[in-house]
């Protein structure tokens, strides 16, 4: 699934390319993709036709294509969606569910699994999306994250995937951030110390920025708005590396299912018990041996 770095990579290109382009026609709009929209497919067509793009924004994993008609086309790429800007002469791919004619070019949404979403949005967008803090925003900090996690009894991995707490993090970057912070994904979120949460907040920012520098992570579906894959998959430390050697300690990376989602971690670098408890257990074991 495209996560924050992938969606932000697309946003940056489109925001530099789309403003002032006019939608000549809505060539195709798959009504099955219109979900949780205050207006239906026909009205979306009407509001887009003849409108001009003004800017492209991102909220979490959502793209908001603001139009001159005082609203925005809201898009979510789901599990396998691609949003590409193509020359009109380029043949359309299978599973293309939205085509906007911009004259010599077309904006196309391709989604083989149809888990994405098309909707119309009006400001303030945040009220309808119910998203948490963006981890790349100025609002995000260790203190804010600590307050969000306080009292939560779910696993920290599960908490990081909750879009109402922190918006934009998915399976890949939750695993990578927890590894960087040396925190086991099954640790209880509300039991983390302030120092651990500060470390985690820094790790979240770092792994997201590194992925952005590599234009996102591509395994099978994700490409940017030009149709190019990202390169961050070559720099991952744990995600997708089950039974491969940890880059830090050479122990084997493990994979477990938490809350219905796969989690990748190093059992040595990310002990399931907090460091102080782990030390006490090890000391107790040594005393028992004596």
Q: Is 152 annotated as a binding residue?
A: yes
On the 0-12 / 13-18 / 19+ scale of CB atoms within 10 A, 220 is exposed
Domains in the chain: boundaries: 4-129, 142-281
pLDDT digits (tens, 9 = 90+) for 65-85: 999 988 999 999 999 999 999
Which residue is catalytic, options 2, 5, 135, 271? 2
For the full predicted model, state whether its pTM sits above 0.85: yes
Domains 4-129 and 142-281 share a fold: no
Instruction: Return the CATH architecture of domain 4-129.
Output: Alpha-Beta Barrel (3.20)
Q: What share of the chain is helix, strand, coil (3-state, %, to 5)?
A: 35, 25, 45
Which residue is catalytic, options 11, 47, 58, 61? 61
Q: Is 12 annotated as a binding residue?
A: no
Sequential DSSP letters for 211-231? HHHTT---SSS---TTS---S
Report the pLDDT value the prediction gives residue 84, as an integer from 0 to 100: 97
Q: Is 206 a catalytic residue?
A: no
Question: How confident is residue 111, by pLDDT bands cut at 50, 70 and 90?
Answer: very high
Among 115-119, 124-128, 230-234, the minimum mean pLDDT is found in 124-128
Q: Classify domain 142-281 at the CATH topology level.
A: Helicase, Ruva Protein; domain 3 (1.10.8)
145-162 mean pLDDT: 98
Secondary element (H or E) of residue 149? helix 142-149
Q: How far is CA 136 from CA 96, 206, 231, 239, in A?
A: 31, 10, 20, 21
Question: How confident is residue 115, by pLDDT bands cut at 50, 70 and 90?
Answer: very high
Q: Does residue 161 have a pLDDT over 70?
A: yes
Q: Is 138 annotated as a binding residue?
A: no
* C-alpha closest to that of 81 among 107, 105, 114: 114
Q: Is 2 a catalytic residue?
A: yes
Secondary element (H or E) of residue 279? helix 275-289
**Percent of the chain scored above 70 by pLDDT?**
94
Q: What are phi and psi of 227, to 5 degrees?
A: 85, 15
* C-alpha closest to that of 100 among 122, 112, 117, 84: 84
- Would you give the DSSP letter of residue 178? H
| First-to-last C-alpha distance (Å) of the chain | 52
Q: Which residues contact 127 (CB under 8 A, 6 or more apart)?
A: none
Report the pLDDT value the prediction gives residue 21, as an integer from 0 to 100: 97
Average model confidence (pLDDT) across the chain:
93
Only one residue has tokens 């793209």, namely 63
Q: Does residue 289 have a pLDDT over 70?
A: no
Report the pLDDT value the prediction gives residue 276, as an integer from 0 to 100: 55
d(CA 140, CA 266): 27
d(CA 28, CA 155): 42
d(CA 241, CA 236): 8
Q: Is 3 a catalytic residue?
A: yes
Q: Is 32 a catalytic residue?
A: no
Q: Does residue 186 have a pLDDT over 80?
A: yes
Which residue is catalytic, options 229, 261, 267, 274? 261
């Amino acid at each position: 699934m495209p996560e924050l770095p992938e969606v932000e990579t697309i946003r940056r290109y489109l925001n530099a390319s789309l403003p002032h382009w006019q939608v000549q026609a809505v060539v195709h709009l798959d009504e099955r993709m219109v979900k949780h929209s205050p207006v239906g497919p026909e009205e979306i067509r009407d509001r887009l036709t003849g409108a001009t793009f003004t800017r492209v924004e991102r909220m979490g994993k959502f793209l908001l294509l603001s139009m001159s008609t005082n609203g925005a086309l809201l898009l979510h790429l789901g599990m396998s969606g691609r949003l590409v800007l193509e020359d009109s002469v380029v043949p359309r791919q299978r599973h293309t569910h939205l085509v906007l004619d911009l004259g010599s070019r077309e904006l196309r949404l391709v989604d083989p699994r149809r888990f994405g979403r098309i909707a119309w949005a009006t400001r303030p967008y945040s009220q309808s999306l119910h998203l948490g803090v963006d981890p790349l925003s100025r609002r995000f900090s260790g203190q804010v994250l600590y307050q969000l996690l306080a009292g939560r009894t779910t696993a920290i991995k599960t908490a990081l995937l909750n879009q109402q707490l922190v918006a934009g993090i998915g399976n890949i970057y939750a695993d990578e951030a927890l590894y960087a912070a040396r925190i086991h994904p099954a640790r209880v979120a509300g039991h983390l110390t302030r120092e651990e949460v500060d470390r985690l907040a820094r790790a979240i920012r770092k792994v997201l920025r590194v992925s952005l520098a590599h234009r996102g992570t591509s395994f099978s579906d994700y490409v940017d708005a030009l149709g190019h894959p990202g390169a961050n998959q070559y720099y991952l430390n744990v995600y997708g590396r089950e039974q491969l050697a940890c880059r830090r300690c050479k122990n084997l990376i493990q994979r477990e299912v938490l809350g219905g989602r796969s989690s990748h971690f190093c059992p040595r670098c990310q002990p399931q018990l907090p460091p102080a408890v782990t030390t006490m257990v090890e000391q107790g074991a040594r005393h028992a041996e004596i």
